[in-house]
Structure 1
Amino acid sequence: MEAATALDTWQRPVHAAAQALLGDQGRADVLRGRWLGHAVHPLLTDIPVGAWTSSMMLDAVGGRTSRTASRRLIALGIVAAVPTAVTGLAEWAHTTAGERRVGFVHALGNTAALGLYTASWAARHRGRYGRGVVLGLAGAAAASAAGYLGGHLTSARKVSSRHPAFERPSPR
């Protein structure tokens, strides 16, 4: 994926928008977590992922009485996905070409997950609970695949903001 130059046509305009988002240094510092000492994006991912996973567990074992709670958890995940995506864009803006390609596919997968969860919430809201569950499961699959790519970026590629005070000193 890192060598898939065909993705460049699609990711370049998004990358330009991400760089524009960071045009103001104060905004960049907030979005990239300078105030915290490390990237905010990985922390925020726990909210939508946790809410959506909790919803899936309620669907599996909660029965009819948990339907409202499950729908509300999906809504929480949808709302939390917005700042999570914005902070992800901020991290992605400072990556190499190969990392940008992987990050772009990561974002596409998360966008698909968000769309599926939004459709799940809407179906449940209209009383189409079974359809909502199926859409939620599809959203979970998309989020899992996208999360794998995000994990690759942070673990294997070390894409993440860090405050200089936390950097390791260079060996002498």
Structure 2
Amino acid sequence: MTTTSERPPALVRWTLRLEGASVLDRPVAALEPHVQTLFASGVKGQVLRGDWLGHALHPLLTDLVVGSWTSASLLDVLGRGRWAAPAQALVGTGLAAAVPTAWTGWAEWSEASSREKRVGLVHAVSNGVAIGAYAASWRARRQGRQAAGVKLGLLGYAISGAGAYLGGHLAEARKVGSHHPAFDATQV
């Protein structure tokens, strides 16, 4: 167990600096009205946030994306080309699931505080870069360039890991995410 007098780990210190990075306020402000219009207003926002479920929808969907890409990476590394078709299918599944997952993430982002929006922006950019790497991986595989597809997939996996860390920070440390008020009541 750590005490408050111990220096936090480097990753925690970096994340705290990211939370305080006011340089991100300008891009956040530029995005906010667009995100509000596209993903967060009215019934659309309530659906995307998971208000109807009583629980944020975004974390549920991230499992499909990350699970697909993790499985593809395992098939690529362990199979060494023997499971190329299933790995490509999993890359494609992750790409298809990334779209609604991003929509739900933007809906949650719209209701976050300034510090959380800064982290959320970097989370989204990291995931956008990972999606780009996976799209390139899927295309390379489709063109028969399996080795390039595997390398691009592993690059995407590494980048998505950084994005997942930031998403986990938002969900766990900062408690960003829709939930039903009934969960706030103490029940025995």
The residue matched to 1:144 in structure 2 has which SS? helix
Instruction: Report the equivalent of 2:146.
Output: 129
| Correspondence 1:110 to 2:127 | yes
| Residue 62 (structure 1) shift | 2.0
| Residue 9 (structure 1) shift | 1.6
| Correspondence 1:39 to 2:38 | no
Identity of aligned residues (%): 49
Task: Report if the CA contact (8 A) 2:116-2:170 is conserved.
Answer: yes
The residue matched to 2:83 in structure 1 has which SS? helix
Instruction: Report the equivalent of 1:81.
Output: 98
Instruction: Report the equivalent of 2:12.
Output: none
The TM-score normalised by the length of structure 1 is 0.94
| Correspondence 1:55 to 2:69 | no
Task: Report if the CA contact (8 A) 2:40-2:106 is conserved.
Answer: no
| Correspondence 1:164 to 2:185 | no
Amino acid at match of 2:57: V
Q: For the residues of structure 2 that align with 1:34 and 1:58, how far apart are their CA atoms?
A: 36
List gaps (5 residues or longer) in structure 1: none
| Residue 54 (structure 1) shift | 0.5
| Residue 167 (structure 1) shift | 1.8
| Residue 157 (structure 1) shift | 0.5
Q: For the residues of structure 2 that align with 1:109 and 1:41, how far apart are their CA atoms?
A: 16
Instruction: Report the equivalent of 2:5.
Output: none
| Correspondence 1:23 to 2:41 | yes
RMSD: 1.1
The residue matched to 1:65 in structure 2 has which SS? coil
Amino acid at match of 2:96: V
Deviations 1:97-120 (A, max 9, x none): 111000000000000000000000
List gaps (5 residues or longer) in structure 2: 1-17
Deviations 1:83-132 (A, max 9, x none): 00000000000111111000000000000000000000011111111111
| Residue 29 (structure 1) shift | 1.6
Amino acid at match of 1:19: Q
Task: List, as ranges, runs of 4+ consecutive aligned residues in structure 1 with deviation greater than 6 Å.
Answer: none
Q: For the residues of structure 1 that align with 2:177 and 2:141, how far apart are their CA atoms?
A: 37
The TM-score normalised by the length of structure 2 is 0.86
Q: For the residues of structure 1 that align with 2:71 and 2:174, how far apart are their CA atoms?
A: 29
Instruction: Report the equivalent of 1:147.
Output: 164
Paired residue total: 168
Instruction: Report the equivalent of 2:14.
Output: none
Amino acid at match of 2:26: T
Amino acid at match of 1:92: W
